[in-house]
Amino acid sequence: MRILLLKPRWLVKDGVYRFLTHISFEPLHLGILAALSEGHDVTIVDHDWDEIPNDRDFDLVGITATTFSSQRAFDLADGFRQKGAKVVIGGVHACLMPEECLQHADAIVIGEAEYVWPQLLKDAATGALKPTYQQSQPTVMDDVPIPRRDLFRPNPLVGMIQATRGCHHTCKFCYLPHVPWHQHRRRSPDKVYEELKGMKQSIVFFVDDNLFVDEDYALALCEKIAPLKKAWSVQAPTTITKNLRLLRAMQKSGCFFVQVGFQTVHPDSLARAGVVQNRVETYREVVRRFHQHGILVQGFFIFGFDNEDSRIFPTAETCIKQMGLEDALLYILTPYPGTPIYDQLKQQGRLLAFDREKFGWANAVFQPARMTPQELERGVQSTYENLHSFFKWQAPRRILNPKWLPFFLRHPRILWVVLQALNRRVKILRD
């Protein structure tokens, strides 16, 4: 069969990530599906960077959908079905809203795909597609094939890789704790080493939900990959900074940058969000310990919890400035179907009807308890602007610091991305 695997556009104009035009994130999910499609003619298209191949015919089109890209996924699915292709939708949105996805697809895959995709292909080839496919058990990580990176557009700067899936935390805004495949699963360090060795990029980003659930595993992984001398980055929880041995191993193996989900600077918000692993009073120390080990830190912060009024913005700004971070990404709480926060807001009649493009954590899609939606958006926008100039003035000191200058000189393209980030303009407010 001629198969098209398609990722709809993610990046939005003036969005938080728009400045990352020099990093084309590799669509790992599509690369994995391609690796499981032996014997078929497979094309991968990432609409953030590639054109939709409307001039070609395909027998089967597989589309990955997140909540915020779901409308674009449906439009593409409808178009391909009109042209006669069979369409399969998978990805996080297919597991959160299967019925909705089925209205635009001949079949959907709920959750992980490793064990059902080969059967789905056989069914498609014989005209016997079933509407729904779902694995009876979570994927064993050593069964995940190496993604077909040869089908990705050339991406010399940053490669993506996954060592683990799942997370043991229960943040109330996250869908992961509520799906059957949430438990933490690990690939053997040997397999990760082999995949990493085959990647041509010298900088890699681990896309794991939470690589550090088992700190002994994380330590073993760092020790295994250290000889490859890759520079790597990952999302990391605040809790690992208690483990100095692990931090040292991360440093020695090339970790240069972590994104940390501090989530909020307000203890009441942490409690409401179910983020039991964070303590506001430790934030400065958390950043300091990463820095001690040569690791740069970007913080994630969410605004809009029910205890917050507009005083949260100056409080957060002051706290974030004192933390010593290199950068911060600010998000507006976004209730995704399948999360307790969504259920609560729905029950209270506080969900506002908005198109799916607004579900990218940059718009108020619900009625906040102590602010208007506009106050919430304006507050995040102005905090962004204030912090942006703060980080911009701090950056030269960091870049020229003897701890990090050699790294930037070795990786001038990363320096270029940092400079782009410093010039980014984030637009939260609605047009």
Backbone dihedral angles phi then psi of residue 312, each to the nearest 5 degrees: -60, -30
CB of 208 to ligand B12, least distance (A): 6
Among 123, 209, 285, 375, binds ligand SF4 (CB under 6 A): 209
Task: State yes or no: residue 313 binds ligand B12 (CB under 6 A).
Answer: no
Which is nearest to 279 in space by CA: 222, 238, 227?
Answer: 238
Part of the chain binding ligand B12 (CB under 6 A), chosen from 25-33, 188-196, 250-258, 348-356: 25-33
Q: Show contacts with ligand SF4 in window 155-194 (CB under 6 A).
A: 167, 169, 171, 174, 176-177
Instruction: Please state the φ and ψ torsions of residue 205, each to the nearest 5 degrees.
Output: -120, 120
Q: Taking the CB of residue 297, how many other CB atoms lie within 10 A of it?
A: 22
Q: Answer with the entry of ligand SF4, ligand B12, none that 169 interacts with (C-beta below 5 to 8 A by kind).
A: ligand SF4
* Contact code string over 336-355 relative to ligand B12, x by CB under 6 A: x-------------------
The answer to whether residue 34 forms part of the interface with ligand B12 (CB under 6 A) is no
Taking CB under 6 A as the criterion, the residue among 88, 219, 222, 286 binding ligand B12 is: 88
Residue 342 touches which of ligand SF4, ligand B12, none (Cβ within 5-8 Å per kind): none
Is 379 a residue that touches ligand B12 (CB under 6 A)? no
Pick what 167 binds: ligand SF4, ligand B12, none; C-beta below 5 to 8 Å, kind-dependent.
ligand SF4
Task: Determine which residue in the list 24, 67, 155, 210 makes contact with ligand SF4, applying CB under 6 A.
Answer: 210
Please select the residue that binds ligand B12; options are 176, 312, 323, 376, rule is CB under 6 A: 176
By DSSP bridging, strand 164-165 and strand 185-186 are antiparallel
d(CA 282, CA 277): 11
Q: Does 273 sit near ligand SF4 (CB under 6 A)? A: no
Report CA torsion sign: 329, 330, 336, 340: positive
Write down the least CB distance from residue 169 to ligand SF4, Å.
4
Residue least distant from ligand B12 (Cβ): 90
162 contacts which partner out of ligand B12, ligand SF4, none, CB within 5 to 8 A by kind? ligand B12
CB 356 within 8 A of CB 386: no
Please choose which of ligand B12, ligand SF4, none residue 10 contacts, taking the beta carbon within 5 to 8 angstroms, the exact cut-off set by kind. ligand B12
Which of residues 4 and 234 has its CB atom nearest to ligand SF4 in the complex?
Answer: 234
C-beta closer to ligand SF4: residue 37 or 278: 278
Rule CB under 6 A: which residues touch ligand B12? 10-12, 15-17, 25, 27-29, 32-33, 62-64, 66-68, 88, 90-93, 96, 109, 112-114, 117, 139, 162, 174-176, 207, 209, 331, 336, 360-361
